[in-house]
Amino acid sequence: MVHHQRLHQWRKGEAHIFGDEEHGFVVFDFASFGHKRKKPRLFYLLLISLLSCSLVLLVPGLFGSSSLSLLYSFGVDSEVARENYDANAPPCSSMSNGTICCDRSGVRTDVCIMKGDVRTHSPSSSVFLYSSKQTSGLVDLFSSFLGVAEDGHDEELQHEKIRPYTRKWESTTMATIDELDLVVKKDIAVARHRCDVWHDVPAVFFSTGGYTGNVYHEFNDGILPLYITSQHFKKEVVFVILEYHDWWITKYGQILSHLTNYPPIDYSGDKRTHCFPEAIVGLKIHDELTVDPSLVKGKKSIVDFRNLLDRAYWPRINGLIQDEEREMQLKLSQPPSGSAQEQSMKINKQDQKPRLKKPKLVIFSRSGSRALLNEDCLVKMAEEMGFKVEVLRPDKTTELAKIYRVLNSSEVLIGVHGAAMTHFLFMKPGSVFIQVVPLGTDWAAETYYGEPARKLGLKYIGYEILPTESSLYSEYDKADPVLTNPKSVTEKGWEYTKKIYLDGQNVNLDMRRFRKRLLKAYDYSFMKINWHSNSLLKFD
């Protein structure tokens, strides 16, 4: 409603406005709108009109096309501009310097683009865009007669508000995000505007507030949208961060270094005026944990994002490997236990064994809610089946590079539904991802992790547990809807889902039932790492 009111106000001022109210974006053409007058007197307006018309007829060279556009803006529409406007073009795909274009058509996010003389002003939570487009010296002279600029203040031409976070539909969450005022001003005194730091590359403004601290939200609401929004700049972009966290920079620094060549700016903490030739305020987002190539410059996909993770983490992983090799060399340099003959016999026996690789299985362990109560039994069954098993128990301080190394080198990942399943992004395409789905979480498990995993190219298995495999089975009557009809409970609202199914449920796997899925994953993985014929790799 506010947006439409603003639109009508600009129409009342007779600026040239091109856009699509229905789809949520508007472009203001300030090339044809000189400046907003402060209640001019009728006498002066008539005088200006008469003088202008006389000068146009007598000395047409004094007026450029922009000056004539200003005259038309008093009541004549620009037919040329209307003809050039393409209603089918993507929002904000074409805009001139000195303008702001905001795409508010998305359910998940708003994104505004500013082009021209962009300057930060953190004390007022503002980003200013100074428009230096002048209609003519004569028009400015008339303005001075009217007292328009006598107070020395730049005139405001456009004002937008935006909270640069990607959960637009959640009003309670968005209320916690810092709001920015994006303001276009006509620059009538350029010398007054200090620029402490000049950047010759664009800026991307975004917030690391909201649900930051949860790895799913950090990737889904932040890192992936940041990749989508900025990758086409090829690292020639500066990130300006609202609600800046040092730990977030440390945690994701390796990824950020592959998206930008410049240190990020703490918007609130850095009081200097930073100047940019262009700014994108807000991040673009497609769907859960994915990248839609049809919506990205360069047709990048989620696989391209994962390749970026490879490049980001490999230097650190390579360093870890070298450290381990040095430790191994140190151990080998120590005198061996036993006689040389015994050592030789051991080597000969190892050489006689078939050199078939064991597929590596990683179990992502949970503590607290949705824990796997019989995890030890799962480990034993998997090892007997032929897997090389590793149980991963990271905490908030565990380096992502270390987690990436473990998952990148594995063939199968098993975990109970939860934020940690975001780490499927670290698996190589073609690997197997088995998600254990507790009662009441089937929709979320499929939407947030199942479908995105398939888009990455993983072989996904969703193992939906039976009521007897849930810890809730011993807490509720066997006919209670909590067990028999979880959907009817989750439809009551998020608070019921969270309290009962997310915070109050653990899992005790039926090993005979789960074995079928695990055996399927083993057969596929074993063939994959020990044979190279694609015709043998069937996965139904």
Instruction: Provide the H-helix boundaries in 29-178.
Output: 42-58, 65-72, 79-84, 137-145, 171-174
**Could you tell me if 108 and 232 lie in one domain?**
yes
Does 264 reside within a domain?
yes
- pLDDT score at 177: 98
Residues 381 and 527 in one domain: yes
Do residues 379 and 278 share a domain?
no
Residues 223 and 125 in one domain: yes
- State how far the Cα of 210 lies from the Cα of 354, in Å rounded to an integer: 53
Phi first, then psi: give them for residue 397, nearest 5 degrees. -95, -5
Same domain, 114 and 199: yes
Number of domains in the chain: 2
Cβ proximity of 29 and 70 under 8 Å: no
Choose the final residue of a domain: 285, 313, 341: 285
In the chain, how many H helices and how many E strands? 19, 17
From 226, 252, 285, the end of a domain falls on 285
Measured between its terminal Cα atoms, the distance across the chain in Å is: 51
User: Residue 152 region, left (φ>0) first, then alpha (ψ -120 to 50), else beta?
Assistant: left
- Is there a single domain that holds both residue 527 and residue 381? yes
Q: Which helix (H) or strand (E) holds 362?
A: strand 360-364
d(CA 413, CA 432): 6
Does residue 26 fall inside a structural domain? no
Spatial contact of 294 and 440, defined as CB atoms under 8 Å apart: no
Tell whether 438 is covered by a domain. Answer: yes
- Alpha-carbon span 482 to 497, nearest angstrom: 10
> Does some domain include residue 479?
yes
In a domain, residue 74? The reply is: no
**Tens digits of pLDDT across the chain (540 residues):** 434 433 333 333 334 444 544 445 444 444 444 444 444 444 444 555 555 544 444 444 443 333 333 322 333 333 433 444 444 556 787 788 889 999 999 999 999 999 999 999 999 999 999 987 554 444 444 444 444 444 445 688 999 999 999 999 999 999 999 999 999 998 765 546 789 999 999 999 999 999 999 999 999 999 999 999 999 999 999 999 999 999 999 999 999 999 999 999 999 999 999 999 999 999 999 999 999 999 998 899 999 999 999 999 999 999 999 988 888 888 887 776 655 555 555 545 555 555 789 999 999 999 989 999 999 999 999 999 999 999 999 988 999 999 999 999 999 999 999 999 999 999 999 999 999 999 999 999 999 999 999 999 999 999 999 999 999 999 999 999 999 999 999 999 999 999 999 999 999 999 999 999 999 999 999 999 997 645 555 555
Name the helix (H) or strand (E) containing 527: helix 511-530
SS3 of residue 105 by DSSP: coil
pTM for this structure? 0.79
Q: Which two tokens stand for residue 196?
A: 């402490």
In Å, what is the CA distance from 386 to each residue of 119, 361, 374, 383, 523? 61, 10, 19, 5, 10
Residue at 510 is within a domain? yes
Kind of pairing between the strands at 412-416 and 432-437: parallel
- The answer as to whether 505 is a domain residue is yes
Residue 220 lies in a domain: yes
Structure confidence at residue 348 (pLDDT): 54
Selection from 439, 424, 456, 426 nearest residue 496 by Cα: 439
pLDDT score recorded for residue 94: 78
Q: Clarify whether residues 218 and 366 are in a common domain.
A: no
pLDDT of residue 70: 30
**Residues 416-427: b if buried by 16+ CB within 10 A, e if exposed:** bbbbbbbbbbbb
User: To 10 degrees, what angle do helices 42-58 and 137-145 make?
Assistant: 160
Asked if residue 255 and residue 121 are part of one domain, the reply reads yes
Among 239, 267, 285, give the residue marking a domain's end. 285
Q: Are 365 and 391 in contact (CB under 8 A)?
A: yes
Instruction: Assess whether 372 and 281 both reside in one domain.
Output: no
Residue listed under structure tokens 């800046």: 244
Handedness of CA 301, 307, 311, 312 (dihedral sign): positive
Q: Which residues lie below 8 Å from residue 409, measured CB to CB, with a gap of 6+? A: 360
CATH at residue 467? 3.40.50
Count of CA atoms in the C-beta half-sphere (13 A) of 158: 30
3 state SS of 166: coil
pLDDT for 356 equals 85
Which of 109, 96, 127 lies closest to 28 in space, CA to CA?
Answer: 96
In terms of domains, do 267 and 385 share one?
A: no
The domain in which residue 385 lies consists of 360-537
Burial of 474 (0-12, 13-18, 19+ CB in 10 A): exposed
Give the type of residue at 222: G
Dist CA 435 CA 444 (whole Å): 11
Measured distance CA(235)–CA(255) in Å, rounded = 11
DSSP secondary structure, 227-291, as one string? HHHHGGGTB--EEEEES--HHHHHHHHHHHTTTBSS--EETTT--S-EEEEEEEES----BTTB-
